[in-house]
Amino acid sequence: MTMTERQFQVLTNIVSSYIKTALPVSSQYLEQESRLGVSPATIRNEMKELTEKGFVTQPHTSAGRVPTEQGYRAFVDSILRDQMAFPDAQSFSHASEEGVHALGALAKSIAQETSGLVVLYTAEYGLFWQEGWGGVLREPEFRDQEHVAELTCLVRGIEENIEQISQEQEFRVYIGRENPFFQAQRLSMIMGTTVLGGKGLVAVVGPMRMAYIRNIRVMRSLL
């Protein structure tokens, strides 16, 4: 499903606002904060079009809009195409060090930078780290026990099948039901193979409302 340039601008503002606030985004909020330069009626019409096309949804009749899986995908595809979105990749001092301690510290640093749950596997040591449970579970989505159960199941599945999964060669962003490994309809995962500590896998897992630009920038610096 395609959208106009203005509809994409509205969608980008909805996604960015929802990532920041975790609250449905109203047309009034967009009028005041987005600087779209169009009338409130035009914003409402574009939001209606985006809803009909499946890019956003309205949780309740009187609520604003939140992005759908399709809306997040359009947003992520756009930032992946835009190299200017990643001007300065985060540099991690532990990346050039050696040993198990340094890799564990690296995983902790990635978790702190992304506020996600980090999975780091290295074939050289045959070790599997999980870092960032405390941070990711503070996200409002994980007040819902189904989100927590899904996250636990996903991480367990990755660990049990890590050697197979680490053969994945491409840098990928999986959103919701796109995840090919395990049922994770409410989560997103950014993953890729890495040569840190010998060939392995690094992934950041979080709610679909994750900070994609920041997290993709961090992950690209590691691969």
Same domain, 99 and 138: yes
Residues 70 and 98 in one domain: no
| Residue 33 domain flag | yes
- Tell which of 24, 47, 81 closes a domain: 81
CA dist 196 and 59 (Å) reads 43
Domain boundary residue among 21, 46, 81? Answer: 81
How many Cα atoms sit within 13 Å of 72 on the Cβ side? 23
Phi, psi of 130 (to 5 degrees): -125, 120
Confidence (pLDDT) at 37: 83
Find the domain containing 62 and state its range.
5-81
Q: What is the pTM of this model?
A: 0.90
Q: Is the pLDDT of residue 89 over 60?
A: no
Structural domain count, the chain: 2
Residue 15 contacts residue 9 (beta carbons within 8 Å): no
pLDDT tens-digit profile of 45-66? 999 999 999 999 998 877 799 9
160, 185: one domain: yes
Is the pLDDT score of 184 beyond 60? yes
Q: What type of residue sits at position 101?
A: H
84, amino acid identity: M
